[in-house]
């Protein structure tokens, strides 16, 4: 099994955004030493809970302070941006760090609708043109004919010997269909929507069209994981996630709560039921128990790579979770 990392650069209560970005670099360096394959950085806007609003900047920063691990976006929200600008940014990253850059793109706004409108200010192109954006982006990366005919003479610079890996990240059959149509790699966000994930991935494979980037389909899946030495400790650490997720449902976009704050929260019966539903899509427990569940899930999806998202209030506990998981899978 190949394991990779998704880092959302979480801001914990009592900390700040600077702390979160420093921890991103420390975690990337540790995960490289542990044998993880990729390190993807997420894009979020309008929230005090996540620090990274510009993954393309953090990719260069992390890649410069590591040496082997692939570094990429998980993902750039392409609906906000010019495909040419994204292509040129990632061509430059590929030139600086040859063979180590991934460009993951997403369809979701990564923000509320007003913030999304501000990000795309001045652009009349709506989400209905997302497919054209994908086609143009892939063409600019590979020097092929873009989907938008008016851009036929446009070339992305600078030129690099290689091309960044191009992944489409999604949680629905629509995203998988886009990836299949354009011949991109597909990463399924199980931690967002585990329902029918196996069918979504199978549909992607069934309808995949070979491209200049990928002659065959390529897939992985993103999963939320917390590992600790004991079941009780893993469960305790996960209570922070439970409360954070509950608050997110209410539109509260604040920092990640501490375990003590979570344990002291007066949950109603309805809230406890909601937390239980969210917890069911996570992998929380001891190293061996979590490995068995992840192996079973990967077998059901027919994949050989999992992208691990772990958030705990304590950075030490978060790092320890990645260490224990790496050892359970024999990466070290």
| Structural element, H or E, at residue 135 | helix 130-142
Superfamily of domain 2-225+286-328: Luciferase-like domain (3.20.20.30)
- Residues of the chain below pLDDT 50: none
Of the CA atoms within 13 Å of residue 292, those in its CB half-sphere come to 4
Residue 116 confidence (pLDDT): 66
Predicted pLDDT of residue 50? 97
Full-model pTM: 0.94
Task: Pull the structure tokens for residue 307.
Answer: 């992208």
| pLDDT score at 295 | 98
Distance from chain centroid for Cα 219: 13
Task: Please count the other Cβ atoms lying within 10 Å of the Cβ belonging to residue 286.
Answer: 18
What's the rounded Cα separation, in Å, for the pair 126 and 117? 10
Longest dimension (CA), the chain: 61
Helical H segments across 250-331, by residue range: 259-263, 269-279, 287-301, 315-328
Tell me, what's the pLDDT at 160?
86
Residues 6+ positions from 143 with CB-CB distance below 8 Å: 155, 156
Query: Residue 79 has what pLDDT?
Result: 87
Q: What is the pLDDT of residue 125?
A: 54
**Domain extents for the chain?**
2-225+286-328
The 10s digit of each residue's pLDDT in 75-94 is 999 988 999 999 999 999 99
The pLDDT of residue 111: 52
pLDDT at position 107 is: 84
Q: What is residue 12's three-state secondary structure?
A: strand
Q: Is residue 188 within 8 Å of 221, Cβ to Cβ?
A: yes
């Amino acid at each position: 099994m190949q394991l990779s990392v998704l880092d959302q650069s979480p801001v914990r209560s009592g900390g700040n955004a600077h702390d979160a970005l420093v921890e991103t670099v420390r975690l990337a360096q540790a995960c490289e030493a542990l044998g993880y394959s990729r390190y993807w950085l997420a894009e979020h806007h309008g929230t005090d809970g996540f620090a990274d609003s510009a993954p393309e900047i953090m990719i260069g920063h992390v890649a410069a302070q590591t040496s082997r691990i692939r570094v990429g976006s998980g993902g750039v929200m392409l609906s906000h941006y010019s495909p040419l600008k994204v292509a040129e940014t990632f061509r430059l990253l590929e030139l600086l760090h040859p063979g180590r850059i991934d460009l993951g793109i997403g369809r979701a706004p990564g923000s509320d609708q007003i913030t999304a409108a501000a990000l795309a200010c001045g652009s009349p192109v709506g989400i209905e043109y997302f497919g054209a954006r994908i086609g143009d982006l892939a063409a600019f990366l590979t020097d092929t004919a873009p989907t938008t005919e008016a851009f036929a003479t446009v070339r992305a610079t600078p030129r690099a010997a290689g091309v960044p890996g191009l992944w489409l990240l999604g949680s629905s059959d629509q995203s998988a269909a886009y990836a299949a149509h354009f011949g991109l790699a597909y990463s399924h966000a199980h931690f967002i929507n585990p329902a029918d994930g196996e069918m979504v991935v199978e549909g992607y494979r069934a309808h995949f069209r070979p491209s200049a980037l990928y002659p065959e389909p390529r897939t992985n899946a993103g999963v939320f994981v917390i590992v600790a030495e004991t079941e009780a400790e893993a469960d305790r650490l996960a209570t922070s996630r439970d409360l954070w997720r509950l608050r997110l449902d209410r539109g509260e976009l604040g920092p990640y709560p501490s375990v003590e704050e979570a344990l002291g929260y007066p949950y109603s019966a309805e809230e406890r039921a909601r937390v239980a539903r969210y917890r069911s899509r996570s992998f929380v427990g001891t190293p061996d128990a979590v490995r068995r569940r992840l192996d079973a899930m990967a077998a059901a999806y027919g994949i050989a790579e999992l992208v691990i998202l772990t958030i705990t209030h304590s950075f030490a506990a978060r790092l320890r979770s990645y260490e224990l998981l790496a050892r359970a899978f024999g990466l070290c």
